[in-house]
Amino acid sequence: MPRLKPQTQFLLRGSALIVALLVVWWLLLLTPMARGLQIAAGAFLQIQETSTGDWTVKVPLERVLPATPGQPVAQQIHSIEFDIAHTDLVAFTFSLPVYWAIILAAPDLRRNLRVLAMGTLLMALLDLAMLFAFAQISARNAVSQLGGADGAFSKWARHLGEYLIVSVLPFITPFLIALWLHPALRAEILPGFAKPEPPPPARRAKKRR
């Protein structure tokens, strides 16, 4: 039986590990990871969890709502409060088990522990940053609905940002971080981008007397 290519071996190992770790994440890790995310995000946002697991988020935001026929006097607001469904929070914990699966499937498992720890910390920080960006976009969407006046470009930019945060970045960032932190994996998957190893130093012949 012909030996499989390294890329094929990695794909098979990675696929099996992703399925296994996502099952573990869904059954055991999702709730504690969401709780940890809530504690970390609480340093920047006011978050209250409802009985259904949704979040009520209060974002500081200074805005003046213009006068409208229903509200003849302009109104100053200092914060916006809105809800984030529990199903939307899944996107901010999904990346970690995917990253773990990629690194565990990478070659040379013994050397992967350092990359696993560094990447886990980096992915956690990125998930927190994406949650903060999502909250800011949601707050500005709420202000736009209350104010009733917003430019087409601003609406498009917020829609694009929300789409990237929820539907794109959680899926691609684990692969990008893994390829960046793991040179052996990068050389195996993208051999064209691997740095060539320097040739061994030439040995000088000893002169005979």
Q: Does some domain include residue 200?
A: no
Q: Does some domain include residue 138?
A: yes
The pLDDT of residue 155 is above 70: yes
Of 10-24, 62-76, 145-159, the one with minimum mean pLDDT is 62-76
The count of structural domains within the chain is 1
Long-range Cβ pairs for the range 12-20 (8 Å, 24+): 13/104, 13/105, 14/101, 14/102, 14/105, 17/100, 17/101, 17/102, 17/104, 17/105, 18/97, 18/98, 18/101, 18/102, 20/101
What is the residue type of 152?
A
The pLDDT of residue 49 is above 60: yes
The pLDDT of residue 118 is above 90: yes
Of 14-28, 49-63, 115-129, 157-171, the one with minimum mean pLDDT is 49-63
Average pLDDT over residues 24-52: 90
Q: Does some domain include residue 1?
A: no
Rounded Cα–Cα distance for residues 168 and 170 (Å)? 6
Give the torsion sign (CA, 121, 124, 126, 132): negative
Q: Does some domain include residue 203?
A: no
How high is the mean pLDDT of the chain? 83
Rounded Cα–Cα distance for residues 93 and 51 (Å)? 20
- Three-state DSSP string of 3-38: CCCHHHHHHHHHHHHHHHHHHHHHHHHHHHHHHHHH
Residue 32's pLDDT band, with cuts at 50, 70 and 90, is: very high
Residue 126: the pLDDT is: 95
Q: Does some domain include residue 62?
A: yes
Domain holding 187, by residue range, is: 6-67+74-192
The pLDDT of residue 192 is above 80: no
The pLDDT of residue 133 is above 90: yes
Please answer whether residues 127 and 96 qualify as being in contact, where contact means their C-beta atoms are separated by less than 8 angstroms: yes
Q: What is the pLDDT of residues 62-106, one digit of tens each?
A: 777 766 666 666 677 788 888 888 888 888 999 999 999 999 988
Residue 202's pLDDT band, with cuts at 50, 70 and 90, is: low
* Percentage of the chain modeled with pLDDT above 70: 84
Q: Does some domain include residue 126?
A: yes
Chain centre distance of CA 27:
20
Q: Does some domain include residue 208?
A: no
Q: Does some domain include residue 199?
A: no
Residue 198's pLDDT band, with cuts at 50, 70 and 90, is: low
Residue 9: the pLDDT is: 81
